[in-house]
Amino acid sequence: MRHLCYSLESEGVKLQIQTYWLALIPILFGLGWLAARWEMRLQDFEDDVEQTKKERSTFRGINLLLSEQHDKAIDALVEVAKLDPETTELHFALGSLFRRRGETERAIRVHQHLSNRQDILPRDRAHAAYELGRDFLRAGMLDRAEASLNLVIEGRYHLPAKAALLEMYQIEKDWRKAIIAANELGTLEKKDYQDQVAHFYCEIAIESIRSKNLSAAKEAIDQALYAVPHHIRATILRGELAIAHQKPLEAIETWGNIEKKFPAYLHLIADKWMKAFTELNRETEGLERLKLHLLEQGSGELLDIVFKHVLRIQGPQPAQALINTVMLDTPSLTAMTKRFEAQYMIAQEGGQEAMIGEIKASLDLLKQKTNSLARYTCSSCGFRAKRFYWQCPGCNHWDVYSPKRSEGIGVA
């Protein structure tokens, strides 16, 4: 009986303890809720700090970019990229900055990272492939550039990728691929690329003439003239092909089109023209026809060539007389130099020792001036060159050089 009472007492204590525990439960819940809230607030605070840090770095980067401090801007933007590695736009901006600064390897790494990511939109992947292609192009890794640019087959970067490929094929002098790219670009842009296509065929024709593959040269010239009828360069080459076939008469007849329609370009063929006329024993006729054009044009490279042939065939007196006539209407440094050249030869022939030294001093000075001033000028980028180019070496544009050489002093 005593034992039973003790047991009941014990049960009562147990029951009391359990009741206390039940009373603690809401308190414990409350404490847990408070702890969770505290942790959330702490997380929010940390996020805010990180966001502020990111924003500060981004704005700092933008400010530095605007103030052209590219090195510092890159450091600031790299910091943001570390805080948020998922930001694609920022990576594109960084890649572009690296490339602009000439750090092509770093640009390649950034763009390669982007193009390998599986979580980005197809649009961004195409963008990354385009930028990567441009990086490889800049680094001179043309095969890899071609492969990367060819991955861009649609979207807003399709057209720039094709344009980059066209540029690359021209650098590589892969004219056949350049023709295909120019035609595709023409269709995409609804723009006429036939002038460029004609030049690409002309490049193929020149290579073929050099390698004595005259049938391939003829085919390329025909294609150039099909792309642009009466194309000046293709017409010149058709005459050169006739010369390669040892048909000077045919060459003269072909170049007659240049003489009639585009006489400003005669200086490009004047030497070969004289050679063809000489082979036909019509040297005087060839020279007289060139002289007529020189009197109309007044100066430029044709003056050098005609003067040289008059000197060779007729001697210094007629050469000087020709220059005097030219200078009546078109005074120029080139003409003045040629006149001193003729006078120097006349003095030499006459054995006028005192005159020789005097003329030589003036002639040397004039030659120096003419050599430094007589240039062809690109109408697109202003690049000045001693010789005429169909494609500007400065900006790579075609047909931007005026056929008329200038002396840069307004008396061309």
Q: In the range 355-384, which residues lie near Zn ion by CB under 5 A?
A: 378, 380-381, 383
Strands 384-385 and 376-377: antiparallel
Member of 186, 315, 394, 408 binding Zn ion (CB under 5 A)? 394
Cα–Cα distance for residue pair 306/294, rounded to 1 Å: 8
Nearer CB in complex with Zn ion: 307/383: 383
Nearer CB in complex with Zn ion: 148/170: 170
Nearer CB in complex with Zn ion: 56/387: 387
- Distance of closest approach, residue 378 Cβ to Zn ion, in angstroms: 3
Angle subtended at Cα 157 by Cα 104 and Cα 107, rounded to the nearest 5 degrees = 15
- Distance of closest approach, residue 370 Cβ to Zn ion, in angstroms: 23
Backbone angles phi, psi at 375, to 5 degrees: -145, 150
Cα–Cα distance for residue pair 75/94, rounded to 1 Å: 10
Nearer CB in complex with Zn ion: 320/377: 377
Nearer CB in complex with Zn ion: 149/378: 378
- Distance of closest approach, residue 265 Cβ to Zn ion, in angstroms: 18
Cα torsion angle, 332, 337, 343, 345, sign: negative
- Distance of closest approach, residue 130 Cβ to Zn ion, in angstroms: 25
Cα–Cα distance for residue pair 325/306, rounded to 1 Å: 13
Nearer CB in complex with Zn ion: 326/392: 392
Q: Which two tokens stand for residue 135?
A: 């990086």
By rule CB under 5 A, what count of residues binds Zn ion?
A: 7
User: Which of the ranges 166-174, 233-241, 294-302, 393-401 carries the binding residues for Zn ion, by CB under 5 A?
Assistant: 393-401
User: Which of the ranges 89-97, 121-129, 250-258, 390-398 carries the binding residues for Zn ion, by CB under 5 A?
Assistant: 390-398
User: Which of the ranges 7-15, 117-125, 305-313, 388-396 carries the binding residues for Zn ion, by CB under 5 A?
Assistant: 388-396
Tell me the sheet residues that pair with 376.
Answer: 385
Nearest 10 degrees: CA dihedral of 144, 146, 152, 153? -140
344 sits near Zn ion (criterion: CB under 5 A): no
- Distance of closest approach, residue 397 Cβ to Zn ion, in angstroms: 6
Nearer CB in complex with Zn ion: 307/398: 398
395 sits near Zn ion (criterion: CB under 5 A): yes
- Distance of closest approach, residue 402 Cβ to Zn ion, in angstroms: 12
- Distance of closest approach, residue 236 Cβ to Zn ion, in angstroms: 21
Q: Residues near 157 by Cβ (< 8 Å), separated by ≥ 6?
A: 126, 127, 129, 130
Q: Which two tokens stand for residue 209?
A: 């003439």
Phi-psi category of 391—alpha, beta or left, where left has phi over 0 and alpha has psi -120 to 50? beta
Cα–Cα distance for residue pair 318/351, rounded to 1 Å: 19
Nearer CB in complex with Zn ion: 254/377: 377
Nearer CB in complex with Zn ion: 141/385: 385
Counting beta carbons within 10 angstroms of the beta carbon of residue 287, is it exposed (0 to 12), middle (13 to 18) or buried (19 or more)?
buried
Nearer CB in complex with Zn ion: 306/392: 392
Q: In the range 295-314, which residues lie near Zn ion by CB under 5 A?
A: none
Q: Which two tokens stand for residue 179?
A: 């023709």
- Distance of closest approach, residue 401 Cβ to Zn ion, in angstroms: 8
User: Which of the ranges 134-142, 238-246, 271-279, 391-399 carries the binding residues for Zn ion, by CB under 5 A?
Assistant: 391-399
The tokens 């060459």 sit on which residue? 251
Member of 168, 359, 392, 412 binding Zn ion (CB under 5 A)? 392
C-beta of residue 95 within 8 angstroms of C-beta of residue 130: no
Cα–Cα distance for residue pair 92/114, rounded to 1 Å: 8
- Distance of closest approach, residue 389 Cβ to Zn ion, in angstroms: 9
CB atoms within 10 A of CB 54: 18
- Distance of closest approach, residue 398 Cβ to Zn ion, in angstroms: 10
Residue of 371, 312, 309, 362 lying closest to 339 (CA atoms): 362
User: Which of the ranges 79-87, 130-138, 182-190, 387-395 carries the binding residues for Zn ion, by CB under 5 A?
Assistant: 387-395
- Distance of closest approach, residue 386 Cβ to Zn ion, in angstroms: 15
402 sits near Zn ion (criterion: CB under 5 A): no
Q: How many helical (H) and strand (E) elements, i.e. helices and strands, does the chain have?
A: 18, 2
Site string for Zn ion, 128-147 (x = CB under 5 A): --------------------
Give SS3 for 140.
coil
Q: Using the 8-state DSSP alphabet, how is residue 264 labeled?
A: G
- Helix (H) / strand (E) element for 227: namely helix 214-227
Nearer CB in complex with Zn ion: 139/381: 381
**Interface with Zn ion (CB under 5 A):** 378, 380-381, 383, 392, 394-395
